[in-house]
Amino acid sequence: MTEILRYLEASHPAPHPLLLELEQHGRKDGIPIVSRETGRFLSVLVHMMQANRILEVGTAYGYSTLWMALAQPPAGKLWTIDPDTARTEVALTYIRRAGEDDHITIFNQDALELLENFQQRNLDIVFIDADKAQYRAYLDLVVPMLKRSGIVVIDNCMLDGRVAAPPSPDDDADVVAMRAFNDYFLSHPELDATILPLGDGTGIGARIR
Ligand SMILES: C[S@@+](CC[C@H](N)C(=O)[O-])C[C@H]1O[C@@H](n2cnc3c(N)ncnc32)[C@H](O)[C@@H]1O
């Protein structure tokens, strides 16, 4: 952790106890979750927008889900997708303990299949954190679901910095996919988009047309 990150981490109050527990649980089981600073960023966005309608692609143990759900207004709704039932069963235990189970719907299905038929529109926020090779396809499907000025947030735009390194024949498929995705995302005609050096590289795009 750099000096700046250490300073910032020490300056914030501790996260909700269930989020702390989830961080430890994810670490113990080797489950990839967003960084704590990305979680906080999501929480601020949800509060800022009073985001009632959120879609998440990639639930895992529900760490990012809970950061967003805890910041939603009381009538908020959050739909989250992950085909891995073993992971989402764990997510559900935390969601229940947080008293958020009435507001969150988990779909155990491949996101592309589900999104083809997903009926919800006027979404405030879509958060994408799943199969890197499919990010472009997710984006194409979710942008029309956003309300005007709704935002799409993308995790892992930098893949531990490997995306920004000079291209090499040894680059793995995810790095190659994320480079192509980032170019596509940043020039998307319906989005005003940027990538922040936050967490593992956080894309954020507002729907402008
Ligand atoms: C990085 S984890 C998500 C972490 C979670 N957002 C968090 O921060 O707590 C990525 C998840 O995407 C899920 N995933 C992989 N392929 C998927 C697909 N085709 N559709 C939906 N989810 C998928 C995996 O099962 C995995 O649990």
Is 129 touching ligand 1 by the criterion CB < 6 Å? yes
Question: pLDDT digit string (tens) for 114-166?
Answer: 999 999 999 999 999 999 999 999 999 999 999 999 999 999 999 999 999 99
Give the Å distance between the CA of 99 and the centre of ligand 1: 23
Q: What is the secondary structure of 41-68 as a DSSP string?
A: HHHHHHHHHT--EEEEE--TTSHHHHHH
Portion of the chain with pLDDT greater than 90, in percent: 99
Q: Measured between alpha carbons, how far is 203 from 185 in angstroms, rounded to an integer?
A: 8
Which residues in 112-144 are b (16+ Cβ under 10 Å) and which e?
bebbeebeeeebbbbbbbbbbebbeebbebbbe
| Cβ atoms 178, 132 nearer than 8 A | yes
Structural domains of the chain in order of their starting residue, each with its CATH number? 3-207 (3.40.50.150)
Nearest-CA residue for ligand 1 atom 14 is 130
Mean pLDDT, rounded, of the chain: 97
Give the Å distance between the CA of 60 and the centre of ligand 1: 5
Place of tokens 């029309």: 144
Question: pLDDT digit string (tens) for 46-56?
Answer: 999 999 999 99
| Cβ atoms 180, 157 nearer than 8 A | no
pLDDT of residue 77: 98
Please state, as a whole number, how many other Cβ atoms lie within 10 Å of the Cβ of residue 157: 25
Nearest-CA residue for ligand 1 atom 7 is 33
> Whole-prediction pTM value?
0.98
pLDDT of residue 125: 98
End-to-end CA distance of the chain: 39
Give the Å distance between the CA of 88 and the centre of ligand 1: 10
